[in-house]
Each structure stands twice: as structure tokens, then as C-alpha cells.
Amino acid sequence: MNLTLLLIIPLLTAVGVLFCRNAQQVRWLSLAGAAVQFILVMALLFAFYAARSNGNTDAFLFSERCMWFAPLNIQFITGADGISVSMLLLTAAVVLAGVLVSWKEETMAKEFFFLLHLLAFGAYGFFISLDVFTLFFFLEIAVIPKYLLIGIWGSGRKEYSANKLALMLMGGSALVLIGMLGMYYQSGANTFDLIRLSEVHIPYATQLQFFPLLFLGFGVFTAIFPFHTWVPDGHSAAPTAGSMFLAGISMKLGGYGCLRVATYLMPDAAAYYAPYIIGLATIAIIYGAFATLMQTDLKYINAYSSVSHCGFVLLGIGMLNQTAITGAVMQMVSHGLMTALFFAVIGMIYQRTHTRMVRQMGGLLKAMPFIMTVFFIAGLTSLGLPGFSGFVAEMTVLMGAWQNPKTMYRIATILACASIVVTAVYILRATGQVAMGPLKQHDEPLNDARWYEKLAAFILIAGIVAIGVAPFWLNDLITPGAKIIMQKIVSLSR
Amino acid sequence: MTDLILLKHELLLTALLLIFILMKLGKDISNSSFLKMSNALLLINFIIGFFGNQHGQMFASMFQTNELMALQKNMLNGGLLLISLSSSRWLNNHIHLPEFFMLIVATLLGMFFMISSNNLLVFYLALELATIPLAALCSFDLDKRQSSEAGMKMIMSSAFASGILLMGISLVYGVTGTLAFTEMSSLIASDHLTVFALILLFAGFAFKLSVVPFHLWTADVYEGSPVAVTSYLSVISKGAMVFVFTSVLYQVFKPMQEVMYQLIYIGAVLSMTIGNLFAMRQQNIKRFLAFSSIAQVGFILTGISGFSHTGAASATFFILVYVFSNMAAFAVAGIVSSAIGRETIDDYKGFYRTNPFLSWVLAIALFSLAGIPPTAGFFGKFFLLSAGAAKGNYVLITIAALNMIISLYYYLRIVRAMFMDKNETPIGSVNLSFNERAAIIICIAGILISGIWNGPFHTIHHSVTEAFSITPF
């Protein structure tokens, strides 16, 4: 399995889109590209299982490397472990669904799909990179497409939101930049090679100095408190597919970076800073949940709840044990699918009712049963109903968290648990108001989902249910990767 | 006689200069045919520059050259060709077209000698040759008052800078008793007088590079000059100065690295921060690019402060990237300015509706200037910061990284105006001539390829290593 295919296909699709003659061609080419990516990732998944069951215990499979800038010892290294494969699965599913949802995008369709595929290109590259420079390169590639997607096709205060998002994410990557340069020189290894860096013991003082930069830098991408403010504005102003990509893929770049770069390479510092991470994560969980209570706009509801849900990711990472880290990765996948589904459904509703305000809607279940059913599923996943992925992921994080007997960690765990109740309140309230009651008047007759919307919803729901009903396949995928990270933490921390 | 091949770049330019004079003296040629011929000549000049480069010294060691210098001169040659192509619209309508080329080739000749100088006297002469024609070029928009003002400001501030430089040179001569770089480096000791001389020399350089606090002339001169000259000033003139920094000052003042480092550190921090803060508030696109170029110099100084082969290589590589990126930005600004006559950022609102191609060009150029991948600017900035970080001064790196955010803010301002803002009367659709199209496509190809493809950086790094091992320091 050649991982560079995952880079070539999105790039070819993006460039190919520019040469299309009309919107029809653009759509079908995009769909074809996304489908090929999806099939490739599925093939990768099975190849990965096959390799593992054949007794291949390398930390990273399908690894390839070539020298890029020899004078600075910058290499282009790709490879995947279970964590990256699960992230790639998420990316492929969201990209496919995103393309389907934006089927009717007519204004500047070429540019729109070009940017979508460029964003996907960045995400794929990020998840398969095993060199911090390459990782950073792809992380930044993904910033500008988001800016343009929000700024051009967005709604509401789109320019403001786009600017805020681009600058805050750029700020995050600036922190990452300083951190990685520090790691390069101070580790004594003079390399960005992730595997090599994980073998050398970076001096304790260096770790303490540069871990916060790396963790906060990546943390900005995953809405670490107090750098979460771009999330609500950015998500709500973005076009539907943009929100899906943002919440489903882009926020996961941060979580993955926190885990793969910051925690993996600097375990001592991770142990040292764990209380702070947990503190910030708990604040994000609680604050996000309560802030959602006050929202009346469906997109804002989902955006703030994303802050809360991503808090679980950071909580899991901060707990520094295998169960919690596995849970954190599962939560990334689960939240990615769930929130993409949520934004897709909100987009569908908005297209028909031309409003996103909860108060202006009602009784939609009668008018569009399919869409509302999907809406219910997304909501129930969000509040953690067993049988859907949210339950599995959050439960794993909380179980891991409870393993830690310190009082402060216990309190954090209890608070995080309690937030689920708040989640239930806002989800049930919103779904109830939107779906039940008498049907409110709308300008146009409401019709139910079209085939492409159904297909998009189906793909995401399939993922959610697959994780919710049979979580072991994902668990088996992630656990070896989490184990390797844990081994470093156990062997090195004092 | 065989030695003359060392002077190849300079001889070629001199020949060009003579041909231009002959063409001017000969029968009347129309502007367009003159332009065609001069472009062809510049292209030939650029191509020959790549062949038969050797290293060695001439004129009693007053002049030296090596592969690195040849490479740098080629870059500048290419930049000149790009300027001539991209501003063909403005040049075509100018009544003194031949003079423009004579002057611009003369100043480039000065810069070549400056890069190759191995003696402070030659260096000073070359600097003057490079500066005085530039002042004339600045006032080349004959019917604009601002342009004459720009020329005046340029000549005054240059004279001032030269004065400071001369003072520094004379002090250095007083301390070491020689003007030759080779001997100087072994004689220099870190006493007070030498430090003072170094500061004066540095100030002279800083003037030409428009390092804050010696930047005050920059914005007015950039704004007043015709776009072709502005892009020459900001790309080629600056590039030459940076090359001199890396290949000369690096080695001559090696014993005083610590003092140099302090100076460069202060210059870098001030240039980045002040340049960026002022750029945020500009309305005129040329003024805006002027301040952004001040900020870019700060980044270059950050890389130079590393005092390593990587530092010199990354600075040289950044100039290559900068030639492409800034030239693309100025090409669009110049085309719009000479076609429509408008220059403020607000005029670019809704530009995408009418000129999608030019909008993408400008956007890509600005992203490259801001250091966004996959453009070459990302690699350029990364290498600079990485070279700077080798010293272990993370305060400098942090300031630079923060400045990248500020710079993104104002680069996005233009992108936003072009792509997102609504406008009732956007700039009308502009038809591009062949020359303009060629220049733009070369620039964009350079921006997109020269970073991801590691060839250019490797070549530059290789020749830097070679050059530093040949010169007997």
C-alpha cells in the first residue's frame, strides 16, 4: 500500500477540477476523486489489519522516506499506525459526505471544489507524515482554503469569522513553528524525523520549555480553552461543507498533533503539564456545554458543543493512560463523524427553511421525515446514547480518566461526566422544538432529502453505528498506537 | 586575457549599455521594437550568465568572483528581465524608453561590482554607481510631482547614507591600515574604535536595505516612483545588498561576530515589527508593499544572524523566492496602475469578478510573501527562521513568528478585498499583453516550484559551501 497515493489523488482531483468546463463535470469529478480516496483508505484499513495479523509489529507501517532538503536534514517520511489510519478513515468519510452535500453548489463551483480538495490534501498529508516539518507543511496548507471557503461562500459575518479563524490558526502554527525549531536544535538530534526524535531523550529542561508551545499550538486547532473563540464564529459562518470539514477534519489535526508530536516526543513534559491540560480541558467541557445552552442558532449550538466535545479529546490525552488515550482518539473519530453529520443536516434544513434559528422552526418532522430522522440520530450521538459512537468514545475517555486516583483528576472526571446532562438538555430542547409541534409557515414548500443528501447522511451514519455497535474494530486499531505512546511515558517519566 | 571571463557578467552588462546608447543614437526606433530588442538582449544576457563561471580574483585582488556570486548575479539578471517584461505597458508609452534601460543597466552594473568587490574602495565606487542612476530612475514619471519628490528624497538619503558609510570606511582604514577585505579580516580586533566603525558601516548598509530605524525614505520613494522602479528598488537593489551582507560582511567582520549579532538582532526585531505595524494601515498598494518589504528585510536579517552556511544559503534562497513573489505582486499592481490609473487597496474590491486570473496571481504572490505553503515563501521563511534559531535565541524567533501572524493579517486584507468585498464599480477587465503574461507565468511557476522542488535550495547551499571554502578567510 503506497501512502503517497493518498496525496496524489486529492491533488489530481483538485487540479482536474480547474480544467472542468461546467458545474456538472466539476461535481462528478469531485465525487469520483472523493470515492477513490474512500476506497483507497478502506483498502489501507484492510491492508493494515492484514499486516498486523501477519505479525508485523512495527510502530509505523507502509513507511517510506526520501530526503527533501539535505542541508537541513529535512526528510519526507510517510507511514501510518492505527491512530493515523482511523484519522484517515474519518477524513475520507467526511470528504465524501462533504462533496455530496455541496452537490448543488453553483456559485463558483470550480473554486469551491478546488479548495475543498486542497483542504483534504492537507489533511491526508498531515495524518500520514512522520516528519515534523512535513507535518507542519500540511498543517499550514489547510489554513488558507478554510479562510477562502468561509470568506467567499459563507454567510453572516463571514469576513470577520474568516479572518479570525485564519489568524488564530496561524497563531497556533506559529507556536508550533517555534516549538519544532526548539526541538530540532535543543534535542541535539538536529532532525525533524519523528521516529528518530522519539528515540533520543530530549533533555528535561528543553521539554519543559517547548512542550507548552507545541501543545498550545496544536491545541488552538482543536479549540483548547481559551483559544476556542474561532470555533463558533468560523463554523457558523462557513458553508455547509466548510463547517463539516472544519469540525470533522480540521479540528482533529490539532488533537492528532497534540498526541503525535507534543505528547509522544516529550512525555516528561506531558506528565509535568498534565494537570494544566486537564484543567483547561475540563473548563472547555463545562464552558462549552453551558455556552451551548444559551444558543438559539443551530450552527452555533453545534459549534459550541464541539468545543465541549473536543474537550474530551484533550481530557483523554491529559490523563496519560492507555485507556484514556484510546478514548481520546475514538472521540476524535466519533466527534468528527457526528459533527459532520450534524452540520450536513443543519445545512439541509437551512436550504429549505432559510433560517437556522430554533425559534422560527417547528414541526419539521412532518414535512421532511428523512432529514429530521438524521437530525435525531446526530443529536442522540452527541448526547451519548448507547449504540452510537459518542457513547463508546466518551465512556472510554471517562473510564480511563477514573483510573487516575488523584483528587483533582477525580473532580475533573466527575465534572466531565456531569456535562453530559447539560448536553442532553440542549440537544433534546433543540430537536424537540425543531421537529415537533405545529408546522410553521415557510415561503417555499418543504421537500425531503434528495439522493445525494441521503447518500451523504448514510455514509456518516454507517460510521457512527459501526463504531457504536461494534467498537472493537476501532479499539483494536487504536490500542497498539496508544500503547507505543504509553510505553514512552511509562519508561521515561519519573 | 583569459582572466576576463571572470568579468563576464560585468562585461555583458557594459556591452548592453553600449548597445542601448548606439540604438538611441541611431535612427528613430519605435518604442515597441526597441522593447522587443531590449528584452531579447536581456534574455541573452541572462542565459549566457549561466555558462563558464569560474572563481578567482582580478585587479590586484580588488575584484573577486565565484560560483555563488555568479548565481546571485544571474538571479538579479533574471529579475531585471522580469521587470522589463512585466512593465512593458508603462514602458511602451514612455518617451524616454532607451534612457530607462541605460540607467537601469548602469545601476545593475554597479550592483554586480558591489557583490564582487574585494576592497572597500571598489565597494564604495560600485555603491555609488548603483545608487545615482537609481535616483534618476525614481523620478522617471516625468509628469508626476510625487515622482520628482521621490528622486530627490532618494538622492538626499543616499548621499547621507554614503556619508556615514565613508566615515565608517575611513575609520576602518585608520584602524587596520588597509582597504582590502582579505587583509582586513585578520587585522580587525574588537576595540572601541572598530566597533564604532562597524556601527557606522552597518548604518550605511541599513540605509540601503531600509532597516528600521533607517527606513524613513522608503515609503515615500516607493510610492512616488513608477512601479517598474519600485519593484527594482524593493527586489533587486535589496537583493544585491543582502548578497553583499552574506558574502562580504560575514567574512570581513568575522572576529566581531558578537557585535554584529547584536546589531542585526536589533535591526531585525525593529524592522519586522515596525514594518508590519505600519503596513497594516496603508491604503496605497505601493506604500503597502514598501512597508511589507521592510518587514521582509527583518526576516532576512533573522536568517543572516545565524552566521552559518545555512544562514547565507537561506538568505540567498529567500531573495530568489522574493524576486518571484514580489515581482508577481508588483506586476499586477503595475498592470492595474498603468491600465486604470488606480493604486489604492479599496480599488481592488471586487477585482475577482472582473479579473480572476490576475486576482489569483496577486493572491498567490501575497501568500508567498506571507509564508503560506505550498508556495516557495513558506520554505524561504522557514529556512530563515531555522538558520536564525541555530543561535539558540528563541526570543528573536518568537518575535519573528508573531510577526508572521501580523503580516498574514494585512496580506489577507488585499485578498479579502479582491475575493470577498462587494463593489459597484470594480476595476474593469484588463487585457494582458504577451510580455506581461510571460512575466506573470514565470513568477507564478517560480513561486509554486522553487520551494517544493529542492533543486534551487540545494544548488544555492552547495555554492555557498564552495564559496566559503575557496575564499581564504
Mean pLDDT of chain A: 88
Does the model's ipTM exceed the 0.85 cut? yes
Q: Give the H/E segment covering residue B87.
A: none
CA A10 to chain centre: 18
Check A162 against B401: CB less than 8 A apart. no
pLDDT of residue A31: 92
Per DSSP, which regions of B63-222 are E strands? 63-65
Please name the residues in contact with B75: beta carbons below 8 A apart, sequence gap of 6 or more.
B239, B319, B320, B323
Angle at A313 (CA atoms; ends A200, A265), nearest 5 degrees: 5
Listed residue (A28, A190, A34) closest to A121, CA to CA: A34
First to last CA, chain A: 39
- 3-state class (DSSP) for residue A22: coil
The ranges of chain B with pLDDT < 70 are 1-2, 470-473
Listed residue (A16, A27, A243) closest to A146, CA to CA: A243
Which neighbouring-strand residues pair with A65?
A77
- Which residues numbered 144-183 in A keep a CB inside 8 Å of some CB on B? 144, 147-148, 151-152, 158-159, 162-163, 166-167, 170-171, 174-175, 177-178, 181-182
Return the number of CB contacts < 8 Å for A and B: 84
DSSP state of A157: S
Question: Alpha helices of A187-266 — where are they, by DSSP H?
Answer: 194-199, 204-221, 230-237, 240-245, 251-257, 264-265
Of A137, A141, A170, which has the smallest distance from its Cβ to B404's Cβ?
Answer: A170
Please name the residues in contact with A465: beta carbons below 8 A apart, sequence gap of 6 or more.
A387, A388, A389
pLDDT of residue A443: 67
Of B374, B382, B405, which has the smallest distance from its Cβ to A170's Cβ?
Answer: B405
CA A488 to chain centre: 25
Domain assignment of residue B181, given as a range: 2-470
Kindly list the residues from chain B whose CB atom is less than 8 angstroms away from the CB atom of residue A184: 386, 389
As a whole number of angstroms, the distance between CA A391 and CA A441 comes to 36
DSSP B217-272: HHHHHHHHS-HHHHHIIIIIIHHHHHHHIIIIIHHHTGGGHHHHHHHHHHHHHHHH
pLDDT of residue A493: 45
Of B401, B412, B458, which has the smallest distance from its Cβ to A177's Cβ?
Answer: B401
pLDDT of residue B472: 44
What are the pLDDT digits (tens) for A317-344?
998 888 899 999 999 999 999 999 999 9
DSSP strand pairing (A61-69 vs B63-65): unpaired
Check B383 against A72: CB less than 8 A apart. yes
Element counts in chain B: helices (H) and strands (E)? 22, 2
Listed residue (B271, B272, B261, B270) closest to B308, CA to CA: B261
* Domain boundaries along the sequence of chain A: 5-492
Listed residue (B383, B334, B324, B323) closest to B358, CA to CA: B334
| B208 to B134, B239, B245: CA distances (angstroms) | 12, 11, 11
As a whole number of angstroms, the distance between CA A76 and CA B453 comes to 12
Q: Which of A147, A161, A214, A216 to mutate to test the interface with B (most CBs of B within 10 A)?
A: A147
As a whole number of angstroms, the distance between CA B458 and CA B150 comes to 39
* 494 residues of chain A, pLDDT tens digit each: 788 888 999 999 999 988 888 888 888 999 999 999 999 999 999 998 888 888 887 888 888 888 888 888 898 999 888 899 999 999 999 999 999 988 887 788 888 999 999 999 999 999 999 999 999 999 999 889 999 999 988 888 888 999 999 999 999 999 999 999 999 988 888 888 888 888 888 888 888 999 999 999 999 999 888 888 898 888 888 888 889 998 889 899 999 999 999 999 988 888 899 999 999 999 999 999 999 988 888 889 988 999 999 999 999 999 888 889 999 999 999 999 999 999 999 988 888 888 888 888 888 888 888 888 898 899 999 888 888 888 899 889 999 988 888 888 899 999 998 888 899 898 888 888 888 877 777 667 777 778 888 888 899 999 999 998 988 888 888 888 888 888 877 765 44
Check A166 against B412: CB less than 8 A apart. yes
CA nearest to B386 within chain A: A181
DSSP B157-176: HHHHHHHHHHHHHHHHHHHH
pLDDT of residue B471: 57
CA nearest to A180 within chain B: B386
Residue A267 corresponds to which amino acid?
P
As a whole number of angstroms, the distance between CA A121 and CA A132 comes to 17
Q: Torsion-angle region of residue A335: left (phi > 0), alpha (psi -120 to 50) or beta?
A: alpha
**Cβ of residue B473 closer than 8 Å to a chain A Cβ:** no
As a whole number of angstroms, the distance between CA A334 and CA A340 comes to 10
Q: Do residues B267 and B212 lie in contact, with contact meaning Cβ atoms separated by under 8 Å?
A: yes
Q: Do residues A334 and A381 lie in contact, with contact meaning Cβ atoms separated by under 8 Å?
A: yes
pLDDT of residue A494: 43
Of B374, B390, B404, which has the smallest distance from its Cβ to A174's Cβ?
Answer: B404
Q: Do residues A172 and B404 lie in contact, with contact meaning Cβ atoms separated by under 8 Å?
A: no
Check B405 against A162: CB less than 8 A apart. no
Q: How many domains does one find in chain B?
A: 1
As a whole number of angstroms, the distance between CA B113 and CA B120 comes to 11
What are the pLDDT digits (tens) for B402-431?
999 999 999 999 999 998 888 888 888 888
How is chain B split among helix, strand and coil, in percent rounded to 5?
80, 0, 20
Angle at B114 (CA atoms; ends B148, B326), nearest 5 degrees: 60
pLDDT of residue B350: 87
As a whole number of angstroms, the distance between CA B405 and CA A177 comes to 12
Check B420 against A163: CB less than 8 A apart. no
Residue B341 C-alpha cell reads as 490609473
What are the pLDDT digits (tens) for A70-110?
888 898 999 888 899 999 999 999 999 999 988 887 788 88
As a whole number of angstroms, the distance between CA A292 and CA B298 comes to 44
b/e A30-59 (16+ beta carbons within 10 angstroms → b): bbebbebbbebbeebbeebeeebeeeeeeb
**Cβ of residue A140 closer than 8 Å to a chain B Cβ:** yes
